[in-house]
Amino acid sequence: MSRLVVVSNRLADPRKAAAGGLAVALAETLNETGGLWFGWSGEIAEDGAPGEGELHRHQAGRVTLASVDLSREDYASYYEGYSNGVLWPVLHYRVDLADFDSGYIGGYRRVNQLFARKLLPLLKPDDTVWVHDYHLIPLAAELRALGCRQKIGFFLHIPLPPPQILAAIPQHAWLVRSLFSYDLVGFQSETDLSHFAGYVEKEAGAQPLDAHRFQGFGSTVHARAFPIGIDVDEFAALTHAREAVDMYERMAEEYKRRRLLIGVDRLDYSKGIPHRVRAFRELLANYPENRDSATLIQIASPSRESVDAYGDIRRELESLCGAINGDYGGLDWMPVRYIHRTIARKKLPGIFRVARVGLVTPLRDGMNLVAKEFVVAQDPGDPGVLVLSRFAGAAEQLKEALLVNPYDTHGTAETIQRALQMPREERQQRHQKLLARIREQDVHWWRRSFLQALAEAPGS
Ligand code: ADQ
């Protein structure tokens, strides 16, 4: 097997399980192949020049971690500006929130060029390079311009919107053309893939050779959906470990007369948290039997707080939760507990397991791993019910969840009521099917399928 080189905006030490997500997913192959992980160090060099950055190298077991610092200006334009102020909102269908400041694109290109320049000398001829996410769309094109011939794959962790929305980005044609420098492009869902196919046919005049191969801009790119999964065994083991069991027992005791609904997200406008809280208010209004009983715990971890839209959503949520508690709360019951904090990963399964309903209702989400973690943490004999947005990538796989349109407050409240009343047998049947699918397409399956498809894709 050729050496795996992973490139992502941020890197993590694959030996630390707490890092979660990508680190856990890629650790096995990185370790097996003595791989390299390359990305931004997380450091901002205050007096650094734009487009420059010092390279650091560390050994983490068999894996080499190589990272570069960013200048203040590059951080502002590449990271906060173009990646999180343009690409993140538009790719989540929120053109209204995008800040198309013309200065950002320069920084985005500059940092991708910096990454290409620093990475190229570290590559060996037989390496397989796997680039992750929207921060680095043009990286392969920049590497190819410097003469890189290795196989390069790209995986987009967030959605790809329909062509008309993508076309709102002034540089949309350049971005999509950049994708043709990869040998393989992976999306989270068939929906995202169909948007890519639609765009390249209609906007770029590229020819579909078949459902997964497109010819244009002098090259052929393979594109497929590879829905990302979780490490089921790891999360199941966490569920039965001390911290989660303690958490479960404490919460089960505290809420023994009540029924818990749980939401766990990064505080992001794509996650639909205010819509969810409004649906919960409607539940209390329309189904009074839930008063003094149903309790929503919403945990939202702080995220990108320097971006304006994130401050707005925080304020909206705080006032919404305050109003519901004021209207419906009593001396010994508060309907909503809103917690603006990251919860230790080891405790999460305990909180999931005690909940009767898991609310995963993003307005738009590439996949959403919380939905899968919620299912894995349940007691198969008496499982909670997953209420899932039809606009999460996960909805393509998790058909036995109760699917909702999060914009439909009334319909969502009705579905939550159905979840709260669902008989045990139906809950068990649904849970069994969901768990089987999550297990079948876990994160190791995801990594293997992507790397195998990349190995099979003819090189450029
Ligand atoms: P994210 O938007 O960050 O990632 P998501 O898949 O929802 O998110 O969650 C990632 C992880 O963060 C999960 O393991 C979850 O448990 C954890 N997490 C979230 N909120 C937390 C909190 N308050 N406290 C503790 N842990 C928390 C992007 C895309 C997703 C895609 C992933 C992976 O936006 O659609 O699923 O990448 O590709």
Distance 20 CA to ligand 1 centre (A): 9
Asked whether 266 lines ligand 1 (CB < 6 A), one says: yes
Best mutation site among 135, 266, 297 for ligand 1 pocket (most ligand atoms within 8 Å of CB): 266
Atom of ligand 1 nearest to the CA of 342: 24
CA distances from 207 to 26, 71, 153, 174, 214 (A): 33, 40, 20, 17, 6
Atom 10 of ligand 1: nearest residue by CA position: 369
Asked whether 365 lines ligand 1 (CB < 6 A), one says: yes
The whole-angstrom separation of Cα 288 and Cα 311 is 33
Distance 183 CA to ligand 1 centre (A): 27
Distance 67 CA to ligand 1 centre (A): 23
Pairing of strands 184-187, 55-60: unpaired
Distance 369 CA to ligand 1 centre (A): 6
Give 389's DSSP letter.
E
Asked whether 264 lines ligand 1 (CB < 6 A), one says: yes
Helix (H, G, I), strand (E, B) or coil at 265: strand
Pairing of strands 357-360, 385-389: parallel
Best mutation site among 84, 304, 370, 443 for ligand 1 pocket (most ligand atoms within 8 Å of CB): 370
Q: Which residues contact 379 (CB under 8 A, 6 or more apart)?
A: 353
Atom of ligand 1 nearest to the CA of 373: 16
Distance from first CA to last CA of the chain, Å, rounded? 19
Distance 21 CA to ligand 1 centre (A): 8
Nearest one of 114, 145, 101 to 49, comparing CA atoms: 114
Atom 7 of ligand 1: nearest residue by CA position: 368
Taking the chain (460 residues) in consecutive chunks of 10 residues, what is each chunk's mean pLDDT?
A: 94 67 83 95 93 94 95 96 96 96 94 98 97 98 98 98 97 96 98 96 87 90 97 95 97 95 95 98 98 96 76 89 96 94 94 98 98 98 98 98 98 98 98 98 96 88
Give 349's DSSP letter.
H
Distance 264 CA to ligand 1 centre (A): 9
Angle at which helix 369-377 crosses helix 424-440, to 10 degrees, equals 120
Atom 38 of ligand 1: nearest residue by CA position: 157
The whole-angstrom separation of Cα 167 and Cα 173 is 8
Atom 37 of ligand 1: nearest residue by CA position: 157
Atom 18 of ligand 1: nearest residue by CA position: 265
Cβ contact 95:168 at 8 Å: yes
Quick: pLDDT tens for 367-408. Answer: 999 999 999 999 999 999 999 999 999 999 999 999 999 999
Helix (H, G, I), strand (E, B) or coil at 12: coil
Radius of gyration of the chain (CA): 23
Both tokens of 63, joined, read 């894996």
Helix (H, G, I), strand (E, B) or coil at 344: coil
Asked whether 367 lines ligand 1 (CB < 6 A), one says: yes
Q: H or E element: which one contains 361?
A: none
Give 423's DSSP letter.
-
Nearest one of 351, 190, 368, 397 to 272, comparing CA atoms: 368
pLDDT confidence of residue 23: 81
Distance 42 CA to ligand 1 centre (A): 19
List alpha helices for 159-307, DSSP H.
Answer: 163-166, 172-179, 190-202, 232-239, 242-254, 273-286
Residue type, 90: V
Nearest one of 229, 221, 188, 225 to 204, comparing CA atoms: 221
- Furthest-apart CA atoms within the chain: distance in Å: 69
The whole-angstrom separation of Cα 199 and Cα 368 is 24
Classify residue 456 as exposed, middle or buried by CB count within 10 Å of its CB (0-12, 13-18, 19+): exposed
Quick: pLDDT tens for 296-319. Answer: 999 999 887 776 777 788 889 999
Asked whether 348 lines ligand 1 (CB < 6 A), one says: yes
Asked whether 299 lines ligand 1 (CB < 6 A), one says: yes
Nearest one of 369, 345, 457 to 158, comparing CA atoms: 369
Pairing of strands 213-216, 219-225: antiparallel
Give 66's DSSP letter.
E
Asked whether 366 lines ligand 1 (CB < 6 A), one says: yes
Q: H or E element: which one contains 21?
A: helix 21-32
pLDDT confidence of residue 388: 98
Looking up tokens 């007096």, which residue turns up? 47
- Residues paired with 256 in a beta bridge: none
- Full DSSP string of 82-113: IIIIIIHHHHTT-GGG----TTHHHHHHHHHH
Catalytic residue set:
157, 365
Best mutation site among 156, 368, 374, 438 for ligand 1 pocket (most ligand atoms within 8 Å of CB): 368
Distance 365 CA to ligand 1 centre (A): 10
Give 330's DSSP letter.
B
Asked whether 373 lines ligand 1 (CB < 6 A), one says: yes
Asked whether 228 lines ligand 1 (CB < 6 A), one says: yes
Atom of ligand 1 nearest to the CA of 394: 36
Distance 247 CA to ligand 1 centre (A): 20
Measured from the Cβ of residue 154, the count of other Cβ atoms closer than 10 Å reads: 28
Asked whether 370 lines ligand 1 (CB < 6 A), one says: yes
